[in-house]
Amino acid sequence: MAHRAPWWLVEFFDRTLRGLLYDAERLLGPHVRPGDRVADIGCGTGFHSVALSRLVGAEGEVLLVDAQQAMLDRAVARCERDPRATARLTPVLGDVGALTIAGHLDFALLSWMLHEVRDVAGLWRWLAGALAPGGCGQPPGSALITEPWLHVSRGHFERKLAPGLELGLSRRHIDGVFFSHAVMLSAREGTSRAGTSEP
Ligand SMILES: C[S@@+](CC[C@H](N)C(=O)[O-])C[C@H]1O[C@@H](n2cnc3c(N)ncnc32)[C@H](O)[C@@H]1O
């Protein structure tokens, strides 16, 4: 069984140091527009979910995805407590590689969760299908992937990304993400497959 961070550890970090170390809205703001449909994959206790909800606003939607119910419950409660987090919330419990969701995503965040995923090929297949293909003046959907460099080496990060790049996702390096390796993966216009289905 893959190691998964316990909720109390993630919550402790969120409640103590994290908010002092970086501003999640500032990090995500350049990548998200009001009204977007976005997902926080491996959302943990919701540190970034709140920021995403504030950014997409009441016309937007945030899918909160986690394999642990305790994480999901806390992330939802945290968004619901925040008066500025007005987006529609869709909590999804499960392994991201096995998800089916309706429609496409404009943006997905995978923050410090990739090293916990065993079925990496399944994850990238899902993501390639879920990101909006773009076209007709709309940019393709994109996903910000971050991993903590304190316990994930650059080589390990690259090996985990490789199957996603083989699927045709395009890659852009992102600088300055707190203590992290970071890349943006985007659907190439017209290449996103219909890997999603109506519930
Ligand atoms: C280290 S925590 C990071 C949480 C959050 N993204 C953050 O930055 O605070 C990793 C989270 O990913 C979730 N996770 C790990 N593997 C997963 C998978 N295959 N599908 C869905 N969630 C997963 C864990 O349950 C955990 O909540």
pLDDT digits (tens, 9 = 90+) for 86-112: 999 999 999 998 888 888 999 999 999
Cα(52)–Cα(85) distance, rounded to whole angstroms? Answer: 8
| In a domain? residue 74 | yes
| In a domain? residue 128 | yes
The band of 193, judged by pLDDT with boundaries at 50, 70 and 90, is: very low
The band of 2, judged by pLDDT with boundaries at 50, 70 and 90, is: low
| In a domain? residue 8 | no
User: Nearest C-alpha to atom 10 of ligand 1 is from which residue?
Assistant: 113
**Can you point out the beta strands (E) in 68-166?**
88-93, 107-111, 142-148
Q: What is the pLDDT of residues 57-69, one digit of tens each?
A: 999 999 999 999 9
Q: Tell me which residue range forms the domain holding 130.
A: 23-186
| In a domain? residue 118 | yes
The band of 73, judged by pLDDT with boundaries at 50, 70 and 90, is: very high
**CATH number of domain containing 175:** 3.40.50.150
Cα(9)–Cα(41) distance, rounded to whole angstroms? Answer: 18
Which residues does ligand 1 sit against, CB inside 6 Å? 4-5, 10, 42-44, 47-48, 65-68, 71, 95-96, 111-113, 116-117
Contact 60, 28 (CB under 8 A): no
Domain count, the chain: 1
The band of 37, judged by pLDDT with boundaries at 50, 70 and 90, is: very high
Q: Please give the average per-residue pLDDT across 141-150, as a whole number.
A: 94
Q: Please give the average per-residue pLDDT across 129-136, as a whole number.
A: 87
| In a domain? residue 57 | yes
Nearest to 46 by CA among 25, 1, 76: 76
Structure tokens at 65: 């995805």
| In a domain? residue 40 | yes
| In a domain? residue 169 | yes
Contact 108, 130 (CB under 8 A): yes
Cα(70)–Cα(54) distance, rounded to whole angstroms? Answer: 22
What pLDDT was estimated at residue 196? 38
| In a domain? residue 142 | yes
